[in-house]
Structure 1
Amino acid sequence: MTLEIDHGILTGRRPDPTAPADYIVVQADASQREAYRRLRRDVFVREQGLFATTDHDRADDDPRTVVLVARSIAGEVLGGVRLHPAPHASTEERDLGWWRGSRLAVRPDARGATGIGAALVRAACAWAESLGALRFDAVVQTQHHPLFTRLGWTTTGDVELQGRPHVALSWPIARVQRLAEATKSPLGSLLAGLGAPQGGAPAPGFWGDDGVPVPGSDLVAACDAILPTMVERDPEWAGWCAALVNLN
């Protein structure tokens, strides 16, 4: 899978750009997935006592789940995180682009200044966007909240899981904004002069609105679009949304 991202965010400590990285974040193969599962058990069951016997859940059985691991140069798995479609009580079979990150775990001797946790979170965000996610969120233990806010996540509320305090957060997906800018902005020259003047100056042609009235006619020029991934996942819903946004 090819990611259109800066792969510099996936490497370990590199104060000197010419120095080799201490680790790199990669998509896990079968053996690395098993090492990640063992690490999770060590962290969430034995170390933290968050689960009684196992932290395995249905996301582990979902074939769409992606596991990313931080691998040392020697090949050891130092940490990992998983991405999977978010569970919905009433629409479990309908994936409309809502993904979730979970089970972030780092080996005790690899924590701290190595930055592995942050590298895994950044990699997960980049991977979620490459998957076409329209929403990406996570529920993390309270002690990890500062890490996520430093990385640009937005806090959405406090929750309790397994009898422990957690925080719900959301990562701002910028892909949709970039897509809008790339596809709508070229329409600016076509719509030039159709907006209201600002302070006597001619209005710019592109404001990012869903539509604009065409002078001298009964027409409205609409420039909204539906993402191809949405059409693939639920054509009927995509068609309804296509009508809705343009009628609005």
Structure 2
Amino acid sequence: MMYGTFRPFLAADFQVKFATQTWEKRGAARLRHEVFCHEQGLFAGDDRDAVDDTAIPLVAVSLLGLLADDVVGTVRIHEAEPGLWWGSRLAVAPDYRKVGALGAALIRLAVSSAHARGCTRFLAHVQAQNALLFRRLHWNVVEEKELHGRPHFLMQADLAFYPPILDAETGFRSASRTAPLRKAA
């Protein structure tokens, strides 16, 4: 009898919410560091900046049944001036990028929670390879630019497609579009 190697278990259910627990904030920081420093090499050492002092971190937490397991996605939002909000540092763990629409769920909560807090304009600098996702989610290109040595788009969300979400501390559950397959590697 032959035994194969199996891929690790990937959750199919998630809670997308403001990071309110210390472990969630640490998980968001860890994931950002992994994605932006190690994987993409955009920052040497640390991706934290002055925005982190006032930003609200959001997380996608994988669920095992009803129990929270791990931070598998994150983004931060902040109000730069009255009514003007920004989203930045959107990251999804590599194993979860094809499981479902975690990036889209994080974007939805980011814009809708800012909308509930008086946002009249929501902007983000989006890496060129992610611009199509944002366009599908009703974002428009304002201008093209280079940041951190890579092409980016300054994009603006169409707030008409993002109704206010008042309870972002609880957020919402999001299931993967397709359950992850468990087959031998």
User: Quick check: TM above 0.5?
Assistant: yes
Identical aligned pairs, as a percentage? 45
Deviation track 1:146-189 (CA, whole Å, cap 9, x = no partner) reads: 000000101111011111110110012239xx9xxxxxxxxxxx
* 1:27 counterpart = 2:18: yes
State the alpha-carbon separation in 2 of the partners of residues 55 and 81 from structure 1. Answer: 13
| Greater relative contact order, per chain length (Cα 8 Å cut-off, separation 6+) | 2
**Paired AA for residue 136 in structure 2:** R
1:130 alignment partner in structure 2: 116
Q: Structure 2: which amino acid aligns with 1:144?
A: N
Higher strand share: 2
| Matching of residue 55 in structure 1 with residue 64 in structure 2 | no
Mapped to 1, the partners of 2:82 and 2:73 lie a distance apart of: 29
Q: Give 1:125 shift.
A: 1.3
Is the partner of 1:147 in helix, strand or coil? Answer: helix
Helix, strand or coil for the counterpart of 1:70? strand
- SS of the residue aligned with 1:132? coil
Match in the other structure for 2:59 = 69
Partner of 2:30: 38
Report the alpha carbon displacement of residue 113 of structure 1 after superposing the two structures with TM: 3.7
SS in 2 for 1:54: coil
Post-superposition, which runs of at least 4 consecutive aligned residues in structure 1 deviate over 6 A?
none
Number of aligned residue pairs: give it: 147
Partner AA of 2:125 in structure 1: V
Unmatched 5+ residue regions in structure 2? Answer: 1-11, 165-185
Give the TM-score normalised by structure 1. 0.56
Structure 1 or 2: more helix by fraction? 1
Residues 35-55 of structure 1 show CA distances to partners (whole Å, capped at 9, x for unaligned) of: 100110000000000111111
1:163 to 149, 161, 168: 149
- C-alpha separation in 2, matches of 1:81 and 1:136: 14
How many Å separate the matches in 2 of 1:97 and 1:31? 30
Counterpart CA distance in 2 for 1:161 and 1:72 is: 31
Question: Aligned pair 1:110/2:101, yes or no?
Answer: no
The TM-score, its normalising length taken from structure 2, stands at 0.75
Match of 1:83 among 77, 90, 101: 77
Q: Secondary structure at the match of 1:124?
A: helix
- Matched position secondary structure for 2:75: strand
User: Which has more radius of gyration?
Assistant: 1
**What is the DSSP-based 3-state SS (H/G/I as helix, E as strand, rest coil) of the residue aligned with 1:51?**
coil
Q: Which AA in structure 2 matches 1:84?
A: H
Counterpart CA distance in 2 for 1:79 and 1:39 is 7
1:81 aligned partner, one-letter code: V
Deviations 1:88-144 (A, max 9, x none): xxxxxxx22111000000001111241111111111111110111111110011000
The CA RMSD over aligned residues, in Å, is 1.8
CA distance in 1, matches of 2:159, 2:131: 19
Q: Deviations over 1:74-100 (max 9, x none)?
A: 3211101110123xxxxxxxx221110
